[in-house]
Chains A and B, each alone.
Chain A
Amino acid sequence: MQTARAWDTRYARGGNLPPLAGLPVAVKDVICTTDFPTTCGSRILDGWVPPYDAYVVTRLREAGAVIIGKTNMDEFAMGSSTENSAFGPTRNPWDVSRVPGGSSGGSAAAVAASLAPVALGTDTGGSIRQPAGFCGIVGLKPTYGRVSRYGLVAFASSLDQIGPMTKTAGDAALLLQVLAGRDVRDSTSADLPVPLYKEALNGGVRKLRIGIAAEAFGEGLQADVRHAVSTASRVLEKQGAELVDVSLPTISYALPTYYLIATSEASTNLARYDGVRYGLRAASTDLYSMYTKTRREGFGPEVKRRIMLGTYALSAGYYEGFFLKAQRARTLVRRDFLHAFERVDLILMPTSPTVPFRLGEKVEDPLQMYLADVYTIPVNLAGLPGISIPCGFADGLPIGLQLIGRPFDEPTVLRAAHAYEQATQWHVRRPPLDGATKPPATRSGTSSAGKPPGKPARRSAKQSRAKRSRAKPRRRS
């Protein structure tokens, strides 16, 4: 509050203000902050206060932003529902019986519920885009290398990337401008000029070639999601974009490829939680049992499962058949995308195959949980930028549209997302915030019946038109 007041005073005096002066930002609890504990949603780091700020946190502070708190997440960013947090699950503001997605579910829910105007998330296999889609907000995973990971607690180092979670593409551009750039303390951060993202927003999608891959609209895709995403592609076409069929034959192999690579990298990255230097230490009389007992007490079930899987895939006798095989498959997935980008500027697909599922629904079946990331994972394997933006609702639950760009072509991704927002109003809708009331049923979308109770109508005429074909009666419970 003090920092915010200081900015207010400076503004009143007419002083020059940095780009994010006084802006409250919520930060996913996997990013180091010296003024808040950083727990990664894990008991093993409960109460740990990092001795330094992450690069992105330093950049935010320099830009005038105020870090207002840390957000809940799946433990060590491993999960698709934020149910794997040692501190309890986060719920979806649109329907509290549903998950907000994950692993950046806390950041997504905070922005959707207007607890914070913007937030930081991290995305290893979809952890920004999938919860953004589930909560009806905008989530951008930048190109691998665009944002420094210095001070980001590592999960899978060849895949992790930090990005903005916001209400609009414009806000994402504003935040990315501050986050992006070379940092000598992260050797994987790209030494490339950072474009002016805000200037890239306008210009529309005329003549833009947008690729649609049939492979991304196959089995397992919920009918409502397919309909909303197809409708969104026609909105962009109407604005002047050209829809082009492309082929991504290997994306059905992306899921096993990812879970072998990510768990292998995680099993080595998480070896550092040994009870020696920080975090939890279990009482024991010898070193070996100090390690094993600390890790038994400190890690939750999903983290243990992934450490086991990754250790297995890297172990003698299985390395060739699993880890190395997955790395070769990764080359093929990346090749498919780069090949498609010879013909198109963007690729469009759903963010997730379904609307948000119920809490507890997939906890006992890891494979079903992993399938929630089937459309986001290939983008991490290929290292590309991808955004999820709201594109409709099914039974009152948000649906996300994913736009994927060429390496370091965030400007085109943001431009198309911004253009889509100009033609629709999905991104303006907000969940009811009393925690119990669900949005009333709307059939035609032409009345004001769709507005949350006790809140001013937010839908414009344009939005009502866009909504007409998608509105469905909502089940009341």
Chain B
Amino acid sequence: MSIDRTIVDHVARLARLELSDEERDRFTRQLSALLEYFAKLGELDTEDVEPTSHVIEMANVVREDRSGPCLPREAALADAPEQDGGFFKVPPVIETEPQP
């Protein structure tokens, strides 16, 4: 399984991660080596094997639909990098994200 810089750039975009040129080179190299090793899984016959997402047997966990105590607004905002009028404040959202 080989990975090139185009794939690394695509994945970095998906992960919202800006990489330096040095990191792009390094990750291209290291991820290729790791995926080559991980290809070992191909040896396993998993044809009729169910995937495991969780090891505990668990039915749906439900509770009564009643409101309880929750985090006060001031506490939730206490460590916000920027806030305004009781809200988290962020830079403009609309039409700023370049299309993939």
Interface on A for B, CB 8 Å cutoff? Answer: 48-49, 51-52, 144-145, 158, 184, 187-188, 190, 250, 253, 256-257, 259-260, 267, 271, 274-281, 284-293, 295-296, 299, 301, 304-305, 307-309, 311-312, 315, 322, 324-332, 334, 366-367, 381-383, 407
Do the beta carbons of A334 and B52 come within 8 Å of each other? Answer: yes
| 16 additional contacts (CB under 8 A) given A52-B71, A277-B88 | A145-B55, A145-B56, A250-B44, A259-B38, A267-B15, A281-B82, A286-B97, A289-B18, A299-B17, A304-B17, A312-B7, A315-B14, A325-B42, A331-B52, A332-B44, A332-B46
Do the beta carbons of B92 and A286 come within 8 Å of each other? Answer: yes
Do the beta carbons of A276 and B51 come within 8 Å of each other? Answer: no
Tell which of A274, A315, A327, A330 touches B16, judged by Cβ atoms closer than 8 Å. Answer: A274
B residues contacting the other copy or chain, number (CB 8 A): 55
| CB-defined contacts of A267 to chain B, threshold 8 Å | 15
Contact indicator per residue, chain B 5-28, by CB within 8 Å of chain A (1) or not (0): 001101110111111100100010
A253 in contact with B44 given A275-B81, A308-B8, A308-B11 (CB within 8 Å)? yes
Write the chain A residue with the least CB distance to B10: A315
Q: How far is the CB of A139 from chain B (nearest CB, A)?
A: 20
Give residues 62-92 of B contacting A (CB, 8 Å): 63, 71, 75-76, 78-82, 88, 90-92
Do the beta carbons of A331 and B96 come within 8 Å of each other? Answer: no
Within the assembled complex, what's the spacing in Å between the Cα atoms of A381 and B55? 8
Write the chain A residue with the least CB distance to B95: A286
Write the chain A residue with the least CB distance to B54: A158
Q: How far is the CB of A128 from chain B (nearest CB, A)?
A: 17
Do the beta carbons of A327 and B53 come within 8 Å of each other? Answer: yes
Q: How far is the CB of B51 from chain A (nearest CB, A)?
A: 3
| CB-defined contacts of A299 to chain B, threshold 8 Å | 17
Q: How far is the CB of B18 from chain A (nearest CB, A)?
A: 4
Tell which of B15, B30, B75 touches A51, judged by Cβ atoms closer than 8 Å. Answer: B75
Tell which of A276, A287, A329 touches B41, judged by Cβ atoms closer than 8 Å. Answer: A329
Within the assembled complex, what's the spacing in Å between the Cα atoms of A250 and B86? 53
Do the beta carbons of B50 and A331 come within 8 Å of each other? Answer: yes
Within the assembled complex, what's the spacing in Å between the Cα atoms of A439 and B63? 57
A292 in contact with B16 given A188-B54, A311-B11 (CB within 8 Å)? yes
Do the beta carbons of B91 and A295 come within 8 Å of each other? Answer: no
Interface on B for A, CB 8 Å cutoff? Answer: 3, 7-8, 10-12, 14-20, 23, 27, 30-31, 33-35, 37-38, 40-44, 46, 49-56, 58, 61, 63, 71, 75-76, 78-82, 88, 90-93, 96-98
Do the beta carbons of B71 and A256 come within 8 Å of each other? Answer: no
Within the assembled complex, what's the spacing in Å between the Cα atoms of A267 and B50? 23
| CB-defined contacts of B31 to chain A, threshold 8 Å | 305, 308-309, 312
Do the beta carbons of B96 and A256 come within 8 Å of each other? Answer: no
Q: How far is the CB of A337 from chain B (nearest CB, A)?
A: 10
| CB-defined contacts of A188 to chain B, threshold 8 Å | 54, 56, 58
Within the assembled complex, what's the spacing in Å between the Cα atoms of A281 and B92? 15
Write the chain B residue with the least CB distance to A190: B56
| CB-defined contacts of A257 to chain B, threshold 8 Å | 41
| CB-defined contacts of B79 to chain A, threshold 8 Å | 48-49, 51, 277-279
| CB-defined contacts of A311 to chain B, threshold 8 Å | 11, 14-15
Do the beta carbons of B27 and A305 come within 8 Å of each other? Answer: yes
Do the beta carbons of B88 and A367 come within 8 Å of each other? Answer: no
Do the beta carbons of A287 and B27 come within 8 Å of each other? Answer: no
Which 7 pairs between the two chains have the least Cβ-Cβ distance?
A383-B55, A327-B51, A281-B81, A286-B96, A328-B46, A292-B18, A256-B38
| CB-defined contacts of B16 to chain A, threshold 8 Å | 271, 274, 288, 291-292, 295
| CB-defined contacts of B41 to chain A, threshold 8 Å | 253, 256-257, 260, 325-326, 329
Task: Provide a sorted-by-A list of 27 A–B residue pairs whose CB atoms are within 8 angstroms.
Answer: A49-B79, A51-B75, A144-B55, A145-B56, A250-B44, A256-B41, A259-B34, A274-B16, A276-B80, A277-B76, A278-B81, A281-B81, A288-B16, A288-B98, A290-B90, A295-B17, A299-B17, A304-B27, A305-B30, A322-B38, A326-B41, A327-B53, A329-B46, A330-B52, A366-B34, A367-B34, A383-B56
Q: How far is the CB of B80 from chain A (nearest CB, A)?
A: 6
Within the assembled complex, what's the spacing in Å between the Cα atoms of A277 and B78? 9
Within the assembled complex, what's the spacing in Å between the Cα atoms of A267 and B15? 7
| CB-defined contacts of B43 to chain A, threshold 8 Å | 253
Write the chain B residue with the least CB distance to A310: B15
| CB-defined contacts of A329 to chain B, threshold 8 Å | 41, 44, 46, 49
Within the assembled complex, what's the spacing in Å between the Cα atoms of A190 and B56? 8
| CB-defined contacts of B92 to chain A, threshold 8 Å | 285-287
Within the assembled complex, what's the spacing in Å between the Cα atoms of A292 and B50? 36
Write the chain A residue with the least CB distance to B61: A187
Q: How far is the CB of A14 from chain B (nearest CB, A)?
A: 36
Within the assembled complex, what's the spacing in Å between the Cα atoms of A322 and B34? 12
Within the assembled complex, what's the spacing in Å between the Cα atoms of A327 and B41? 11
Within the assembled complex, what's the spacing in Å between the Cα atoms of A295 and B19? 10
A158 in contact with B53 given A256-B40, A304-B17, A311-B11 (CB within 8 Å)? yes
Within the assembled complex, what's the spacing in Å between the Cα atoms of A366 and B27? 11
| CB-defined contacts of B46 to chain A, threshold 8 Å | 325, 328-329, 331-332
Q: How far is the CB of B57 from chain A (nearest CB, A)?
A: 10
Within the assembled complex, what's the spacing in Å between the Cα atoms of A436 and B52? 48
Within the assembled complex, what's the spacing in Å between the Cα atoms of A299 and B15? 12
